[in-house]
Amino acid sequence: MRQVVTVALLAVVVASAQVRLDQKRDRVNVTIAGKAFGSLYFGEDANKPFLYPIITPDGLRLNRAFPLEKVAGEPTDHPHQKGLWVGTERLSGMDLWENDSTYKRPRMGRILFRDVTRAASGDKRGELAFRADWISPEGKLLVVEDRTTSFHSGGPGAHVVDVDLTLTAHEPVTFEDHQDAVIGIRLRPEFDEKNGGMAMNAEGFRGEAGIRGRASRYVDWRTILDSKTAGLAILDHPKNLSYPARWHIRSFGFFTANPFARQAFDPAAPSGAKSLKPGEHLRLRYRVIAYSGKFDIESSWKEFAEVSE
């Protein structure tokens, strides 16, 4: 399926912009205040768009490099865990999560980038909006995704990404109650619990044992990189489905905010599955913060929560 790119939109680049978007063949590169932040990849061989790398203002890469790059000492398991991605492992029995192009899993679907609908650099904020199709193993269109990703500075030590998803059903679909959905990331091995990294949620629960399956407004995962405190946080928006999100987390630097999982974590709980009829849509919003040094996650969540449009 050929990618369709609106060149005129992608040409909207302001030379002096603090947040700059630069279109390439299979990605859009993002710089903030003249420093590289990361790239949104949308090549067809990826089977889903993803953001990689995620870099703090002082140049610390936070997510795992594999399989985009090979770095000595980094694990090479789970190649589908690349960058920051969106999907679900159970959409009416189809897998749009563990769907790396190297896999031969049954009922594996794809999320195919279609076109950019808006790309704008700016002095304070850059915005990239695109459309993607969620496709069944047989090539049938299931869901149309409209995603707007906004990039801005969170202060001297932080980069902020706001992700706004609208998922519109083309066919009757059910987002099943499963632990793997809907926005996830795999951090570099220094974040692993065994290596001294630690995640904490808004209520102060820590690590995989304290956070997995628990509802919370956000999870903030920190470690020490180059003798500095560094962290990545994912924040849930209060208008999201089944807010606050449940969190699937593993001690090896993987976590995801999930609006559907209930029975996946507690078999006695009511199902968190969400069904959509053709034309019905689901909107979900998340904030991702990449930082080093001190950063007030709670204040950022309160700011994000007030965004109502």
CA–CA dist 39, 36 (Å, integer): 9
DSSP H or E stretch at residue 298:
helix 297-305
Q: What is the percent of the chain where pLDDT is above 70?
A: 94
Question: What was the pLDDT predicted at 266?
Answer: 96
DSSP H or E stretch at residue 2:
none
Q: What is the DSSP string of 185-199?
A: EEB-GGGSGGGT-EE
> Can you list the pairs that 26-29 forms with residues at least 24 positions away whose Cβ atoms lie under 8 Å?
28/116, 28/119, 28/128
Least confident piece of the model among 35-49, 157-171, 206-220, 290-304 = 35-49
CA–CA dist 155, 143 (Å, integer): 36
Calculate the dihedral angle through the C-alpha atoms of 107, 110, 111, 112, rounding to the nearest 10 degrees.
-150
Strand 281-292 relative to strand 228-236, pairing: antiparallel
Q: Residues 246, 215: contact at Cβ < 8 Å?
A: yes
CA–CA dist 257, 218 (Å, integer): 8
Residue whose C-alpha is closest to residue 219's, from 201, 237, 204? 201
Domain boundaries, the chain: 7-305
Q: Where are the alpha helices (DSSP H) in 45-90?
A: none
Q: Residues 288, 230: contact at Cβ < 8 Å?
A: no
pLDDT above 60 (res 210) = yes
Q: What is the percent of the chain where pLDDT is above 90?
A: 87
> Can you list the pairs that 209-212 forms with residues at least 24 positions away whose Cβ atoms lie under 8 Å?
211/247, 211/249, 211/255, 212/247, 212/248, 212/249, 212/250, 212/265
Between these two residues, 268 and 155, which has the higher pLDDT value? 268
Q: Residue 271, SS3?
A: coil
Residue 259 backbone zone (phi > 0: left; psi -120 to 50: alpha; other: beta): alpha
Least confident piece of the model among 37-51, 154-168, 268-282 = 37-51
Q: Where are the alpha helices (DSSP H) in 111-260?
A: 207-211
- Assign a CATH topology to domain 7-305: Beta-galactosidase; Chain A, domain 5 (2.70.98)
User: What's the mean per-residue pLDDT of the chain?
Assistant: 93
pLDDT above 90 (res 308) = no
Question: What was the pLDDT predicted at 43?
Answer: 74
Question: What was the pLDDT predicted at 3?
Answer: 47
Q: Residues 167, 141: contact at Cβ < 8 Å?
A: no
Question: What was the pLDDT predicted at 46?
Answer: 80
Confidence of residue 4 (pLDDT cuts 50, 70, 90): very low
Least confident piece of the model among 7-11, 18-22, 51-55, 80-84 = 7-11
CA–CA dist 27, 192 (Å, integer): 29
Confidence of residue 198 (pLDDT cuts 50, 70, 90): very high
CA–CA dist 111, 124 (Å, integer): 30
Residue type, 294: K
Q: Residue 46, SS3?
A: helix
Give this prediction's pTM. 0.93
What pLDDT, in 10s, does the model give residues 239-268? 999 999 999 999 999 999 999 999 999 999
Across the range 164-189, mean pLDDT stands at: 98
What pLDDT, in 10s, does the model give residues 235-245? 999 999 999 99
Question: What was the pLDDT predicted at 15?
Answer: 40
Residue whose C-alpha is closest to residue 283's, from 73, 40, 86, 69? 86
Contacts of 306 (CB under 8 A, 6+ apart): none
Confidence of residue 17 (pLDDT cuts 50, 70, 90): low
CA distances for 152 relative to 16, 166, 285, 290, angstroms: 15, 21, 16, 11
CA–CA dist 237, 61 (Å, integer): 25
What pLDDT, in 10s, does the model give residues 92-147? 999 999 999 999 888 999 999 999 999 999 999 999 999 999 999 999 999 999 99
